[in-house]
Amino acid sequence: MKDIKDTGLLQDEPLIFEQGGEGRKGYSLPRWDVEQVKEEERIPSHLLRKELEGFPQLSEVEVVRHYTRLSQWNFGVDSGFYPLGSCTMKYNPKMNEEVARMRGFAHLHPYQPESLVQGILKLMHGLEGYLAEITGMDRVTLQPAAGAHGELTGMMMIRAALQARGEKRKKVLVPDTAHGTNCSTSAVASYQMVEIKSNEKGVIPPGKVAELMNEEVSAIMVTHPNTLGLFEEHLAEIAEIVHRKGGFVYCDGANLNALMGIARLGNLGVDMVHLNLHKTFSTPHGGGGPGSGPLAVKEELIPFLPVPVIEKEGETFRFDYNRPKSIGRMKAFYGNFGVLLKAYAYILSMGAEGLKRASEMAVLNANYLMTGLKGSYYLPYDRPCMHECVFTDRYQEKDHVSTLDIAKRLIDYGFHPPTIYFPLVVKGALMMEPTETESKEGLDRFIETMIIIAKEAEENSDLLRQAPRKVKVRRLDEVLAARKPKLKWNRDQSQ
């Protein structure tokens, strides 16, 4: 038996494989009212799953307690401030969660005929219209299941549009301040990525785009606002340069929470933009999903949208599959409907003025945070930011304190760390996004804590290098975990 320590109500929780006993069950089933047969008599042996050796057997209360305790160790946006940059980990209204649980939506079957889901088709068609209006685009597909999936859809559409012109371009321009997925989706879509270096202000220089743009370049992929949290002030000029050479402008709209209701990307020359509904439009995300990354496009690209496309004829809605130039289906059924539903409810409840106000507050909070930390942490781009700000550990380097040490020490003070070491163009980056839902008092507590940590770095740097200290699990060997991960539990080697 393990030693029992006087830790109050803070209890260690062993692996579920180390709990329970033979014959325990966490469920009960009614008696059979049909003749019982062995599985082997009805199902081919190669389709039957073998029993897992050492599979835990627990009672219902043991199962409930185990997962309840684990959930209490988690940190979530409902627990406290979650300043992850470029992730928009904000509090989302619970009303939208309730809407998604309504029986008529939750019990919907994706194979129901169109005649029985007219309300659903109307809802999705309406959401497409709202997103087109917000972005300044002409049509929207709701199929993509996440931001990167929306990017891939867009790049495939660009390739199809160029092929329809009889062109086979091979390159895509990607700024060094873009999200990493922009590079990945370019490669998956069989394009060669050409990097554009940002200038001293942290934005794309039009002259460099003009120098690189030629008949081999299919598109430029711009993250706007970029990963430094800055407005791409030359975007309209860049779009004109790209269009003159027959290319397309793709915008990564993951950071739309700084622009919606204020700037319409279509008016800046953007040809297509994906939106992360699970970030900007009210769906708690993280831990693998679900997500949604609708793609909004200009008129020229509409023929290449994935099938089916929702069309309205009179008062009837239908799926249109007869689209010969389409790139095909990108997602089973029609996207992650539960996420679409929450976004629709969010837009209706906020209204146009509410969405604009959310953007204004996101920008205000980020600049408030940036101003409060300026003297304690180095700010590589000292100018007004949009939705997020990026600091570095340059001031702390002299005391041998790193960005990782600062992040770990924040945990001791009850804060989730911000994004660290990204974007890559900033050495030792600390990227912080307070979002529109944080109060001034909450931001003041975070600023005060970060200033305290900066002072600790000067006076007692060992404290930071040993952090976190007030948690169940101390600092882990991250290099060992990455090089020798344990992906399978072994009863004989359960250390």
Q: Residue 491's pLDDT band (boundaries 50, 70, 90)?
A: low
* CATH topology assigned to domain 95-349: Aspartate Aminotransferase; domain 2 (3.40.640)
Question: How many Å apart are CA 400 and CA 381, to the nearest integer?
Answer: 23
Q: Is the pLDDT assigned to residue 72 strictly greater than 90?
A: no
Q: Is the pLDDT assigned to residue 286 strictly greater than 70?
A: no
* pLDDT reported for residue 490: 61
Q: Is the pLDDT assigned to residue 336 strictly greater than 60?
A: yes
Pairing of β 139-141 and β 295-297: antiparallel
3-state secondary structure of 210: helix
Q: Is the pLDDT assigned to residue 62 strictly greater than 90?
A: yes
**Percentage of the chain modeled with pLDDT above 70:** 95
Question: How many Å apart are CA 414 and CA 102, to the nearest integer?
Answer: 35
Q: Would you list the domain boundaries of the chain?
A: 16-73, 95-349, 358-481
Question: How many Å apart are CA 255 and CA 224, to the nearest integer?
Answer: 7
Q: Is the pLDDT assigned to residue 11 strictly greater than 80?
A: no
Q: How many residues belong to the chain?
A: 495
* pLDDT reported for residue 9: 52
Question: How many Å apart are CA 453 and CA 460, to the nearest integer?
Answer: 10
* pLDDT reported for residue 1: 43
Question: For residue range 430-480, what is the model confidence (pLDDT) as tens digits?
Answer: 999 999 999 999 999 999 999 999 999 999 999 999 999 888 778 888 888
Question: For residue range 203-245, what is the model confidence (pLDDT) as tens digits?
Answer: 999 999 999 999 999 999 999 999 999 999 999 999 999 999 9
Instruction: State both tokens at 122.
Output: 């109307």
* Cβ-based neighbour number of residue 201 at 10 Å: 13
* pLDDT reported for residue 492: 57
Question: How many Å apart are CA 386 and CA 131, to the nearest integer?
Answer: 21
> Of the candidates 454, 301, 347, which has an alpha carbon nearest to the alpha carbon of residue 392?
454
Helix and strand element counts for the chain (H, E): 15, 12
**Is the CATH number 3.90.1150.10 carried by domain 358-481?**
yes
Instruction: State both tokens at 83.
Output: 């300043």
Question: How many Å apart are CA 415 and CA 409, to the nearest integer?
Answer: 9
Q: Is the pLDDT assigned to residue 7 strictly greater than 90?
A: no
Question: How many Å apart are CA 190 and CA 211, to the nearest integer?
Answer: 23
Q: Is the pLDDT assigned to residue 397 strictly greater than 50?
A: yes
* Cβ-based neighbour number of residue 13 at 10 Å: 16
Question: For residue range 111-153, what is the model confidence (pLDDT) as tens digits?
Answer: 899 999 999 999 999 999 999 999 999 999 999 999 999 999 9
Q: Residue 327's pLDDT band (boundaries 50, 70, 90)?
A: very high
* pLDDT reported for residue 494: 47
Alpha helices, DSSP H only, in 166-309?
A: 180-188, 206-212, 235-244, 277-280
* pLDDT reported for residue 242: 98
Question: How many Å apart are CA 22 and CA 98, to the nearest integer?
Answer: 40
Residue 101 and residue 194 in contact, taking contact as beta carbons nearer than 8 Å: no
Question: For residue range 34-53, what is the model confidence (pLDDT) as tens digits?
Answer: 888 888 888 988 888 877 77
What does the DSSP assignment read for 421-466?
A: S-STTSTTEEEE---TT--HHHHHHHHHHHHHHHHHHHH-HHHHHT
